[in-house]
Structure 1
Amino acid sequence: MTLYNMAGTISSLLFLGCLVGLVVQIRKVRQRKIADPRGAELGYATQSLSVNGFFSSFIAFYSFLLYSIMLEDIDYYIFFTRLIASLATWIVLFEIFRDRSPLSQRAPFLTASVALLAAFGALFFREEVSHLGEVAAESLAVFATLIILQGGIQQIRKIWQAKCTGALSLPMTLVFFAKDVSNVFFGIVLGLELGWPLILMGAVSGILKLGVTITFLLYPEKLETEARVGYH
C-alpha cells in the first residue's frame, strides 16, 4: 500500500468514526432529556454545547458537500459522506433549537436548513456552478476554517464559563481530533500545493479539539454526575 493510499484510508475510516461520534452525541442529548429529572428544563439537555461550535462543524462538512456538487463529475464519496455528516450535525443543531429559546441559539439551525435546501437545489444547476471548481473549493476551505476557529473558541469558552462539559460527548471530541490529525497527514502526503486546505483546516480544528479535550480533564463528568445527585 502506498503512503497516499494509507493516508487516504486512515482519513476515510476516521471520517466514518466522526459519524459514529455525532450519533453518540445525539443519543447523549436525548438521554439527558428523557432519563434525567431535570431533562424538561430548557437548556439542560444541551448544557455546555456551543451552538457556534456545532455550526462551524456543519459549515466544514457543508463546504465540501457543496464542492462535490461543483465538480465536473460529482465525487460521490465526498458527496454522500459529507451529506450524512451535515445531516447528523444538523440534527444536533435541531436539538439545540428545541432546547433553547434565544434567537441566537436557534438561528444556526434555520440557517443550516436553508443551506441544505440550497445544496439540493444546486444539484439541478450543476452546469451553471461547476465552473467555480477549484477557486470555490479553496475559498470555502478558508471560510470554513475561520468559522471553525471562532466556533471552537466559543465551545471552550462556554465550558469554561459553565465549569462543566455538560452534554458534550468526549468520544465524539476525541474522534474528531483524530480525524483532524489524519487530515493534516493526508494533506502533507498530497503536497502543499494540493493539500494546504486540508492542512489548514485540520491543524486549526485539531488544536481547538485538543483544547476541548483538556477541559474534560479539568471538569470530569464524574464530578458533574455527583453534583446532579447532590442537587436532589
Structure 2
Amino acid sequence: MKLLLISNSTNAGEEYLRYPLPEIGRFLAGIHEIAFVPYAAVTFSYADYEKKVQARFDELGIRVRSVHRTKDPAAMIRTAEAVCVGGGNTFALARKMQQQGLMKAILGRIRAGVPYVGWSAGSNVCCPTISTTNDMPIVQPESFRAIGAVRFQINPHYLDANPAGHAGETREQRILEYIEANPRRWVVGLREGCMLRLEQGRLELIGSRPMRVFRKGVETFEVEPGGDLSFLL
C-alpha cells in the first residue's frame, strides 16, 4: 500500500497545501492524473474545490479530475492512477462516499498499490472508522465505517490543550473516552504540519513535531519523526 495521510492542508500564514506539496510531489512522482474526492466541502462547491486543488497541483504537473463530474464515481476510482481525498467535514464526506460506493472502490485501489493522498477529513476516512474526527455531525452517514486501509485511528489537527479560559474537555480527554469504548484500537494524535507516509510496508512520521499515541491499558506516549511505528501496522 502507498498512503500519504496529512493532518492539515494549511499551516497558519501559508498558502493552501503549501507545506505538504513537496512531499505530495515526491509521493506522486510519475503520476499524471488523480481522481479527487471533494465531498468534504460544505460551504463551497465541489467545482470550486476541484479548481482550488488543481491550482496547487499545476505546480506538480498533475491533472485533477473530481469524481463529482462523472455519473459513476466508483468507476472513475477503479481506473485512477492515484486517489486524493480532501479535507472539510468528515460526516458530509463519509455520507457521500458511502452513497456512491467509494469506500470499497478506494480500498480496492489501495490494495492494488495505487497511491492515496488524504488531508484532514481525507485522512480520517482512511481509518477503520470516522469516530476520531473533530467535526460536527452535520449530516448522518450510513455508519461510522470508513475505508479501513489502516488498522489505527487518526485524530488530525491534534491539540495539546484548550484555549485559555475554556473549561471544556481537551482533545486528549476525548480520545481517552474513545479508547475506553474501543479498547483494541490505537489512536494517533497527528499535530498540524505533520503527515504519515506508508510505503513498502514502512510507516513513517514526517514533520517537525512528535505524534501522540493512545491505547487503553498503555500509558500515552509520543513518537518522534523517524521513530518506530511498526506496532501500528
TM-score interval, normalised by the smaller of the two chains: 0.3 to 0.5
Which structure's CA Rg is the greater one? 1
Give TM-score, length-normalised by structure 1: 0.33
Give TM-score, length-normalised by structure 2: 0.33
Higher helix share: 1
Higher strand share: 2
